Amino acid sequence: MGQLLIEKGKLAEAELEEALALQQRRGQRLGELLCELGHLDRQTVIEALVEQAGVPRFNPEGHEIAAEALAAIPAEIAFRHRVLPIGIHNRTLRLAMADPFDRFAVEAARVLSGKRIERHYCPEGELLEASRRLYGSTVARMIADLDTVPGKVEAGEEDLASQLQELAREPSVVNLVNLVILEAVESRASDIHVEPFEKVLKVKYRIDGVLHEASPPPKRLQPA
């Protein structure tokens, strides 16, 4: 990989020698060390490894993905591991990955789908954009899912604080907050308003000076 990067003008001989010397002492992967030393970024290392290993590249633009393939990997796992199932052929799942050399992601996909994994490379930005579009991972969808989850904060004064802290740490709440922020950024909102009322919790985005109301989260999440 080092020589390939030098040939492409991405790496200097001295930088490669420095990383190789460090590799002998630590035993780490060369790509990790090149990033640690500041000679390369992670994306450049992955693309060099992809070229070296001959991993096919996936372009999501204009590519239709069957519902059967998407159903093979839950959205939460797909986003967490930066993967996207793009097709199924017999017992093989074709999987687009931001990092095709992530063994944990490959193993998770294999266990969940029960199929062999055929790795494809897709840059992280393109993959996430396609994932949001195909999985429909929006604030509205997550709110609908949260509405089906029972639970509310009921406690005496002595343990109310601890229950509130526990509620705020729920993955569903954290994911919802992240998606609210993401949707605001994508909408070019200047600020986010969370307005608690007696029976409803409202979320509004200020876009070009005008407040636009989003799908309301479940009222039970207000304490979090």
Does 2 score more than 90 pLDDT?
A: no
Domains: count for the chain? 3
Does 72 score more than 50 pLDDT?
A: yes
Q: Where are the beta strands (DSSP E) in 90-154?
A: 92-97, 116-121
- Domain identity same for 116 and 168: no
The answer to whether residue 151 is domain-embedded is no
DSSP 151: -
CATH of the domain at 214: 3.30.450.90
Would you state the pLDDT for residue 57? 94
Summary mean pLDDT of the chain: 79
The answer to whether residue 176 is domain-embedded is yes
pTM of the model: 0.58
Predicted confidence (pLDDT) per residue in 78-106, tens digit: 888 899 999 999 999 999 999 999 988 89
Element (H, E) at 111: helix 103-113
DSSP 221: G
Rounded distance, CA 209 to CA 171, Å?
32
The answer to whether residue 156 is domain-embedded is no
Predicted confidence (pLDDT) per residue in 139-192, tens digit: 555 555 554 444 444 444 445 445 444 544 444 566 667 667 767 776 778 898
Element (H, E) at 81: helix 75-81
Task: Please report, to the nearest 10 degrees, the dihedral formed by the alpha carbons of residues 160, 165, 166, 168 taken in order.
Answer: 120
